[in-house]
Structure 1
Amino acid sequence: MLRRSFLASTAASLAYDLSAQTFDVQKKRRVGLIGSGWYGKSDILRLVQIAPVEIVSLCDVDTVMLDKAADLVASRQASKKRPRLFTDYQKMLAEKDLDLVEIATPDHWHSLAMIDCARAGLDLYVQKPISVDVIEGESMLAAARKYNRTVQIGTQRRSTPHLIEAKNRYIDEGKLGKIGLVEIYCYYHMRATQNPPDSTPPANLDYERWTGPAPMRPYNSLVHPRTWRAFNEYGNGIMGDMCVHMLDMVRWMMNLGWPQSVSSTGGILIDQASKANIPDTQEASFDFGNVKVIWTHRSWGAPPDPKYPWGATFYGDKATLKAGVQGYDYIPLAKGESPVHKDVTYEFEQYPEDRTEADLERHVAPAIRGHMRDLLAAIDNRSRPVADIEQGHISTASCILANMAMKLGRTLRYDSQTRTVLNDNEATAMLRRPYRAPYIHPEPDKV
């Protein structure tokens, strides 16, 4: 047993060594993007930096956004060619000339687009969270496996250099001792506070297609671009947006699977004047048996530690580890052992475009590149990437279950084998959101 543990630990260390990622650097890959907004562009431009890809097609239901994205891509890729433009991703797929597609639409469109791409034989990069309900995620996982597709999810904490170091150096080596509690949190004032009147959609936006399978709301300027996360109709609020990253990071660092149970409380406690209908305050408990992971978000007030407004604190009986997107702090309990601080890694010398690119989260750029390298290596090896869709599904579904638990006011226990909430028919029915006609909700056995 000790030998198996050693081999598994060694393999894990190698798996999370970014320098060990190898892919065919000469291979030309044709890439398409569905959703040409903020993070879609950030992702594919990092891909252009590390591999000889050709971005050949862009798809978006906003023609102005689409046109600007095409200009940007043409200025950055080696060929200087302007991608072809589509407002219907099905027409883009019908060209049958792509190898890899990124899906960076609002969350409510992830599932249908991903399954269609998998059926078309394409490998994928899908932004997180993977789905807006649990059965969507189960269906996406089933499609990836049925069509043998490599699918990387945009939970790029798994490819963040300083977090890989913290995992390898402190958690894997047991320097924290026994970890019984991990607190994860977000205190960003990120919830929309405006209350604009409903209005007519702009001429450049196909709002009917943008809404897709989601409920049809009157158009509001908060919806597009980017602020759609203010509405439960299109996502899962701050829980689905920010908790999914930190919960996934903790699961990866500690090799955790599904939580045994999920509970949550919260609501709109402070900002009741905004048009937003997502909670401004929420706590959730993810019970992994010997480890409890507790989430808190507040989109108001001050963070307990200003250095860590979004992150995770691992409490061990030998040391504490604070980890976030800007760095980590190792805080030993033993006298004589010094604490260690590490800042985020930037790569401005190798990639000077990072300094000037509009809207780029510069501290995240190295992690996106690492995530893309890992994806390309997995594609070449026909293996599973570090943020394989199954891992993305577990993290996403756990956050969705937390929102369900808050709404129902009780603890939920999800069984991924039966795809039911144990002893709770009402919660099981909530695993599928109603789809707006004529869209049909995907099912794992029918992909």
Structure 2
Amino acid sequence: MTRRLNRRRFLHEAAGLSAAALAVPFVAAEEKKKSPSDRLNIGVVGVAGQGAYDLSNVTSENIYALCDVDENRAAVARKAHPKAKFFQDYRQLLDLKEVDAVVCATPDHMHAFVGVNAMRAGKHLYCEKPLAHSVAEVRLMMDTAAKQGVITQMGTQIHAEPNYRRVVEIVQAGALGPVARVHVWCNRTPDKRVKSAKKMDAPAGFDWDVWLGPAPQQNYDTAFVPFHWRWFWDFGGGVLGDMACHFMDLPHWALDLTTPLTVAAHGRKVKDGDQDAPDLLQVDYTYPARGNQPKVHLTWYNGVPGPDLDAKEAYHGFANGVLFEGPKGQLVADYGNHKLLPEEMFKDFTAPKQTIAPSIGHHKEWIEAIKGNGKTLCNFAYSGALAETVLLGNVAYRSGKSFAWDDKAGTVDSAEAAQYLQRAYRTGWKL
């Protein structure tokens, strides 16, 4: 495994840092010993739910260690990999010098704590979206990846699907002309959750303190686990944080977008309950011009199916999707399909030559890049900007303020919004 070459390629293509910037007191990835064979030693943190899917996609390698706070939910993974070491505390897994690479599939509020510390230990990292729980944490994840020279990939698996690649080729070939307007919509809404009026005890085999991590001290509650934590700000980012990295990945890729100039949001809860995230949300982003491409106005909607539509309708049959608008026409797409509009105008359309190669698999791409074969397309240099943009939408909604975003400084021009760029950590937790 040519880790030294991998490191240089990553820095050249993704970070562009000077050699002096690499002088950090961390364990560099190339200093770690190789596995006894060509197989990587993989550690997986969070092995049920999405973690089970991620685990199933890295079994070409040696599953060296597993970690999950819930022994009961981890039982299936442990049975499938009986030789793997098992921990309930991710810090014990990260202490293993034998582990080459880590998959992080925890709730959002733990992503940076697992990810940053894994990379500081010189371990390559595959992290589920949205990369981190706050804008400041996303920046720390990006900076740490660049400084350490590790191979990274965010879990936006749709990036590897053929449909997204064909859409990118069509848009970049100029079939729509210069695109200045994009709509992105998702029909998902948070589930109603009611916290227990009485103190609940975590079940046997569940380490609630580690699950809670840096979040504010509170009792175990089935309103949160195992799935619905995503609707509470202490742990997740609502529908925007849960789904936007998948859908907004397409316009970010096709239009070469990075982070926005301005962000504004409004929304509301419809369901009663204790969940924090809004059922209906609209976020408006403006992005700078890029070369000969114009500024872009992108609008995200969740809880409503799309641009100017009644809630019971779907845009040309797309209940979730992305709509690109250009002077020559429109293109609407979801994960697996796309359509050029108006259809009559494009009835004789010939798709451009395929220039984006088929994916070998989103997880496999990461594994092969670690071994020196190719690169990851959703490395943190790319996906960090996407995750940051998504989380800025929640900053605008929670603060009730529109703002200008200074990408270089990592600041906003609103004191009310600025307080949501980072979060306070529970005593004993720090990055």
- Is this contact kept in 2: 1:114–1:126, CA < 8 A? yes
2:402 is matched with which residue?
411
* Aligned-partner residue type, residue 43 of structure 1: D
RMSD: 2.4
Once the two structures are superposed, residues 223-250 of structure 1 have per-residue CA deviations (whole angstroms, 9 ceiling, x without a partner) of 1111111211101111111122212221
CA distance, structure 2, for counterparts of residue 86 and residue 303 of structure 1? 47
1:280 is matched with which residue?
279
CA distance, structure 1, for counterparts of residue 237 and residue 303 of structure 2? 15
> Counting helix residues as a fraction of each chain, which structure ranks higher?
1
CA distance, structure 2, for counterparts of residue 277 and residue 241 of structure 1? 14
* Aligned-partner residue type, residue 192 of structure 2: T
The alignment status of 1:124 with 2:125, answered yes or no, reads yes
- Is this contact kept in 1: 2:247–2:321, CA < 8 A? yes
* Aligned-partner residue type, residue 334 of structure 2: G
SS of 1:413's equivalent in the other structure is strand
1:230 is matched with which residue?
231
CA distance, structure 2, for counterparts of residue 384 and residue 412 of structure 1? 35
1:271 is matched with which residue?
271
Q: Evaluate the alpha carbon distance shift between residue 393 and residue 201 of structure 1 in structure 2; reply closer, same or farther with a 3 A threshold.
A: same
TM-score between both structures, scaled by the size of structure 1: 0.79
- Is this contact kept in 2: 1:187–1:303, CA < 8 A? no
- Is this contact kept in 2: 1:128–1:154, CA < 8 A? yes
* Aligned-partner residue type, residue 177 of structure 2: G
What does residue range 229-248 of structure 1 map to in structure 2 within 5 Å?
229-248=230-249
Once the two structures are superposed, residues 42-93 of structure 1 have per-residue CA deviations (whole angstroms, 9 ceiling, x without a partner) of 1221233xxx31112100111111222222x33xxxxxx5422111122112
1:358 is matched with which residue?
none
Find 2:371's aligned residue among 366, 380, 386.
380
Find 1:295's aligned residue among 272, 296, 300.
300
Once the two structures are superposed, residues 275-298 of structure 1 have per-residue CA deviations (whole angstroms, 9 ceiling, x without a partner) of 322110100011014211110011
CA distance, structure 1, for counterparts of residue 426 and residue 146 of structure 2? 27
1:113 is matched with which residue?
114
CA distance, structure 1, for counterparts of residue 62 and residue 282 of structure 2? 43
What does residue range 111-190 of structure 1 map to in structure 2 within 5 Å?
111-168=112-169, 170-188=170-188, 190=189
Find 1:70's aligned residue among 71, 75, 78.
78
What does residue range 13-32 of structure 1 map to in structure 2 within 5 Å?
27-32=38-43
* Aligned-partner residue type, residue 390 of structure 1: A
Identity %: 27
1:61 is matched with which residue?
69
SS of 1:312's equivalent in the other structure is strand
- Is this contact kept in 2: 1:331–1:340, CA < 8 A? no
2:51 is matched with which residue?
40
In the alignment of these two chains, the number of paired residues is 377
Distance apart, 1:309 and its partner CA: 2.1
Once the two structures are superposed, residues 177-210 of structure 1 have per-residue CA deviations (whole angstroms, 9 ceiling, x without a partner) of 221211101013x411243525222122111111
Residue ranges of structure 1 left out of the alignment (5+ in a row):
1-11, 13-25, 75-80, 342-365, 443-447
Q: Evaluate the alpha carbon distance shift between residue 47 and residue 340 of structure 1 in structure 2; reply closer, same or farther with a 3 A threshold.
A: farther
